[in-house]
Amino acid sequence: MDYSLNNIKKIIVSKPLKLDCGQTIKDFPIAYETYGKLNAEKNNAILVFHALTGDQFVTGTNPITKKDGWWCSAVGPGKAIDTEKYFVVCANVLGGCMGSFGPKNIDKETNQPYALNFPVITIKDMVKAQETLLDHLGIKKLLSVLGGSMGGMQLLQFCALYPEKTFSAVPIASTSSHNAQQIALNELARQAIMADPIWNNGNYYKENQIPKNGLAVARMAAHITYMSDKGLQERFGRKLQEKKDYEFTFDADFQIESYLRHQGNVFVERFDANSYLYISRALDYFDLSKQFNNGLTEAFQNHKTKFLVVSFSSDWLYPTKNSKDIVIALNSSGANVAFAEIKTDKGHDAFLVDEPEFLKTIKGFLDSNFELFKNEK
């Protein structure tokens, strides 16, 4: 893993942040990236929240991994989220490993990485940490916030905490609360990481080792949930990996096996195992209704934010039902809400790939809201 994160943009949050767990942190870094330019009226800013294993490098080339940004399909010049028109901001989440304050950071008191001494954080903590960026960038009110998966959860939390800070919002393939299956899948990933002896109760930094095996298994498990049954079958089916027939070994006979192993192997090069534990924990703790007397409707009462809720028909990790529950709560609270279920075989990952109907939908929503926002008195 490349730990040289020296040249990336960062702010140091000096204001103390009281975390949900009770601890208070201050003077911690939040790393971020921006694309496009903030206009003179400062009304073209869009905040993007990233998913579990995402980072601030939304588009272009990620300077750390040298690979494409994770949302190149949607963000860039002339794209659905047009960086020639909009100023796009994304921050690495608290607990992450791309420059924001996370478990691999050095604890000044011990001069060692925090590892499991890092406080357990929540989606709310992440959102509060990111909100500090708006002041720094001189943004009073965002044109929009967008986020898929965990990004959508941060978005909902942001809207609940700061209803005046965004004109519109697009939660994508997300949920307002992790259910038992979603918790189970995260627990599986955590147990896979913790099963690796190199993980060593979180203390693997000193030897410059990585619990690669466990982290790769965690990634493979997650990756299966990102794709639909039908999508996997169309892409891989029972195709063999450069061989004419079964070889009767435990090598990768099938292309899907080889693909999964590859996904595991490349992931461990870019992601910190402890960050995976912390961020997945934040996902499981997320339950927006719990913050509002067990009523999700309460979270959005009297808000003026214009919502577009998006789900994907073949997403079984955060199925349409999760999005519909958000729509129902928004409707009950009297909010302005549109809903689109995009028909696709691409599963949960559909928000990350070139899915024309999806991209057209968010482009239309952003462009029309930009006109409304410009004319707002």
Catalytic residues: 149, 315, 348
* Distance from C-alpha of 12 to C-alpha of 150, rounded to nearest angstrom: 24
How far from each other are the two terminal CA atoms of the chain, in whole angstroms? 49
3-state SS of 238-255 is CCECCCCCCCCCCCCCEH
CB within 8 Å of 126: residues ≥ 6 apart: 93, 94, 95, 154, 157, 282
Interface stretch with its own copies, choices 93-101, 157-165, 248-256, 299-307 (CB under 8 A): 248-256
Specify the amino acid at residue 269: E
Instruction: Tell me if 138 contacts its own copies by CB under 8 A.
Output: no
The residue within the footprint of its own copies, chosen from 248, 293, 302, 371 (CB under 8 A), is: 248
The correct pick among 128, 281, 303, 346 for binding its own copies (CB under 8 A) is 281
Nearer to its own copies, 206 or 290 (CB): 290
User: 277, 95 in Cβ contact below 8 A?
Assistant: no
Instruction: By CB under 8 A, name the one of 61, 112, 191, 209 that touches its own copies.
Output: 191
Among the listed residues 20, 298, 325, 341, the single contact to its own copies using CB under 8 A: 20
Question: Whose Cβ is closer to its own copies: residue 290's or residue 374's?
Answer: 290
Binding mask 146-165 for its own copies (x = CB under 8 A): --------------------
**Min CB(236)–its own copies separation in Å:** 4
Residues 50-109 that bind its own copies (CB under 8 A): none
Q: Is 269 in the site for its own copies (CB under 8 A)?
A: no
Of 5, 25, 221, 266, the one binding its own copies (CB under 8 A) is: 221
Question: Binding of its own copies at residue 325 (CB under 8 A)?
Answer: no
> DSSP readout, 82-96?
ETTT-EEEEEPPTT-
Answer yes or no whether residue 328 interacts with its own copies by CB under 8 A: no
Task: Decide if residue 243 touches its own copies (CB under 8 A).
Answer: no
Q: Per this entry, what is the length of the chain? A: 377
If the CB atoms of residues 68 and 247 are measured against its own copies, the closer one turns out to be 247
Cβ contact 49:119 at 8 Å: no
Under rule CB under 8 A, residue 266 binds its own copies: no
The one segment of 29-37, 66-74, 215-223, 333-341 that binds its own copies by CB under 8 A:
215-223
CA-angle at 95, arms to 90 and 98, nearest 5°: 50
Chain-centroid distance, C-alpha 223: 14
- The set of residues, in sequence order, having a beta carbon less than 8 Å from that of 133 and lying 6+ positions away, is 11, 30, 32, 47, 89, 91
Sign of the alpha-carbon torsion through 17, 23, 28, 34: negative
Residue 273 and residue 210 in contact, taking contact as beta carbons nearer than 8 Å: yes
Residue 117 sits in the site that holds its own copies (CB under 8 A): no
> Whose Cβ is closer to its own copies: residue 110's or residue 179's?
179
Q: Is 287 in the site for its own copies (CB under 8 A)?
A: yes
Our finding on whether 25 is near its own copies (CB under 8 A) is no
Applying CB under 8 A, the site for its own copies has a residue count of: 57
Q: Residue 78 in 3-state DSSP?
A: coil
**Considering the rule CB under 8 A, would residue 348 count as an interface residue with its own copies?**
no
Regarding 196 and contact with its own copies (CB under 8 A), the answer is: yes
Question: Torsion over CA of 230, 232, 237 and 238, rounded to 10 degrees?
Answer: -140
User: Helix 150-161 and helix 273-285: axis angle, to 10°?
Assistant: 50
Q: Which residues bind its own copies (CB under 8 A)?
A: 20-22, 116, 119-120, 177-181, 183-185, 187-188, 190-192, 194-197, 213-214, 216-217, 220-221, 224, 227, 229, 232-233, 235-238, 246, 248-250, 252-254, 256-257, 260-261, 264, 277, 281, 284-285, 287, 316, 319
